[in-house]
Structure 1
Amino acid sequence: MATYKKRGYKPKNKEERVELDEQNSTTAEVFSSLDEGASKTEAWVSKNQNYILGVIGVIALGVLGYLAYARFVQEPKEASAANELYYPQQYFDQALTNDESKDSLMTLALNGAEGKYGFLDIIEEYRGTKAANLANYSAGMAYLNMQNYEEAISYLEKFSSEDAVLGALAKGGIGDAFSQLNQPEDALDYYQKAIAHNTNDYTTPKYLYKAGVVALSLDQKETALGYFERLKEEFPDAKESNNIEVLIGQAKS
């Protein structure tokens, strides 16, 4: 086995001299190989430096362009869209508490008035912004309240959010629209998506109840029972649990 030899070491015999010569030869070959590789690399870099600098320049311009777009285009666009969203949202909120004028207020929220944008204008004019995404949700819910179920589905499907409540409400809203269109299988599918989106005290009991009722109507009693029992066990204080024993009895019968 080779052993470490200090600098200036003199071999004691012929065998050690041969071993030392081999080690020196191997070391020389390694450094020679490294020098050769470095020379080839330098030559390649020298030959292709214009290409390399061009690629670096393109990447740098791309990064700077993205930063400039985000700073001087996207951010002002986001701010403007958020400001525009405030006006139709007021009409939408009023409509939820005013049954007599609900449809007219929802229409104002959708289409705007007095030179102000409605949800539909914001979706069109501010595509790609957070406000346009929220406008899809509000437009979908407006159409749902106006019993225009196909339009409700269309806009709610365009809405995307990881928010615990809004994300679940959007999926549940699609379920409600399908239910009103007498498509219970699709309704159940979206109620299940609403349940899976997030577990919380507001949306989860709501859609556990609806999923159970629809499953029961489809004669999927085992599925319905699972939803009703989960509702009873996890959310006993929710209003949806008030008559849960009756529903559990129907699912078991």
Structure 2
Amino acid sequence: MATYKKRGYKPAKKNEETHTHEEHSATAEVFNTLDEGAGRTEEWVISNQKYILAGIGIVVVAVLGFLGYQQFIQQPKEVEASNEMFFAQQYFDAAVNSTEKDSLYNLALNGAAGKYGLLDIMDNYAGTQAANLAHYSAGMAYLNIQKYQEAINYLEGFKSDDPILGALAKGNIGDAFVQLNQPEDAMEFYEKAIAHSDNSFTAPKFLYKAGTLAMQMGDKESALKYFERIKSEFPETEEARTIDIFIGKAQTLE
């Protein structure tokens, strides 16, 4: 009886050996390629070493310089500016409740007794928080002594995301434009003040001013819009107490 031999067994082993050899060859080729690439990278790093180190050095110096500037220059400058601002602000605060407003506001603006005024602080400490606040106080001082264009200039230089101060700065620019008989510009800044924040202190204040100005301009529709917003959104505020009267006046406009 003939013995059956399974064909293809040895050739299959040979194929496996060939495949394994090919895999080893491919792997070796990959590693050789990586070695060659690494060698080229090392050569590039060595040949460009001084440029790389110089670049790293520039970054380090820039970071250390920034930190040093903040710690040894900017922070002391902020402290010094705040100290100077304290004296100028005292004159400003005194003027608010005084019968001699003009003289006190001028002292706040220009300084006294060897101390800086608000204008000096802006010039000497530009970039500090105190200098930014000095723009606001100077603008308000000029508004109160009826120098309206100066008030506009300084209030426009004040930058703040604060819901109260930011809105007040914009709204007071509107007040200055009213005094300059520029109602369109005034309305623009009242709108900006209203848009800046919907808090219950500044929003109804400038909605009311915008409404009364719209009435003066003969704009019935806008006046009603402002007044009705006070009534619906800010019913507990001082402005809302008599708002029905103003709504009635606006409705009678031709």
- TM superposition score normalised by structure 1: 0.89
Q: Which amino acid aligns with 1:125?
A: N
Say if 1:210 and 1:18 are closer, same or farther in 2 by CA, change over 3 A.
Answer: farther
How far the C-alpha of 1:52 sits from its partner, in A, is: 0.7
C-alpha distance in structure 2 between counterparts of 1:249 and 1:43, whole Å: 86
C-alpha distance in structure 2 between counterparts of 1:138 and 1:75, whole Å: 22
User: Structure 1 residue 84 and structure 2 residue 101: aligned?
Assistant: no
How far the C-alpha of 1:37 sits from its partner, in A, is: 2.1
C-alpha distance in structure 1 between counterparts of 2:133 and 2:161, whole Å: 12
Residue by residue over 1:51-73, the C-alpha shift from the partner in whole angstroms, topping out at 9 and shown as x without a partner, is: 01011111111111111121111
C-alpha distance in structure 2 between counterparts of 1:14 and 1:243, whole Å: 103
C-alpha distance in structure 1 between counterparts of 2:133 and 2:87, whole Å: 13
Map of 1:27 onto structure 2: 27
Map of 2:46 onto structure 1: 46
User: Structure 1 residue 243 and structure 2 residue 242: aligned?
Assistant: yes
How far the C-alpha of 1:87 sits from its partner, in A, is: 0.9
Structure 1 unaligned blocks of 5 or more: 1-10
Residue by residue over 1:80-129, the C-alpha shift from the partner in whole angstroms, topping out at 9 and shown as x without a partner, is: 1101111111111111112x201111111111111111111111111111
C-alpha distance in structure 2 between counterparts of 1:103 and 1:205, whole Å: 29
Matches within 5 A, 1:13-24: 13-24=13-24
- Bigger CA drift: 19-28 or 221-230? 19-28
Map of 2:64 onto structure 1: 64
C-alpha distance in structure 2 between counterparts of 1:27 and 1:218, whole Å: 85
Matches within 5 A, 1:88-237: 88-98=88-98, 100-237=99-236
Residue by residue over 1:13-66, the C-alpha shift from the partner in whole angstroms, topping out at 9 and shown as x without a partner, is: 455445444433433333233222222221111111100101111111111111
C-alpha distance in structure 1 between counterparts of 2:133 and 2:117, whole Å: 12
Structure 2 unaligned blocks of 5 or more: 1-10
C-alpha distance in structure 1 between counterparts of 2:192 and 2:206, whole Å: 9
- Bigger CA drift: 163-172 or 220-229? 220-229
C-alpha distance in structure 2 between counterparts of 1:74 and 1:217, whole Å: 49
Map of 2:8 onto structure 1: none
- Bigger CA drift: 13-22 or 73-82? 13-22
Corresponding pairs, count: 243
How far the C-alpha of 1:12 sits from its partner, in A, is: 4.5
Q: Which amino acid aligns with 1:246?
A: I
Say if 1:203 and 1:13 are closer, same or farther in 2 by CA, change over 3 A.
Answer: same
- Bigger CA drift: 193-202 or 239-248? 239-248
- TM superposition score normalised by structure 2: 0.88
Say if 1:129 and 1:20 are closer, same or farther in 2 by CA, change over 3 A.
Answer: same
Q: Which amino acid aligns with 2:176?
A: A
Map of 1:36 onto structure 2: 36
- Bigger CA drift: 191-200 or 33-42? 33-42
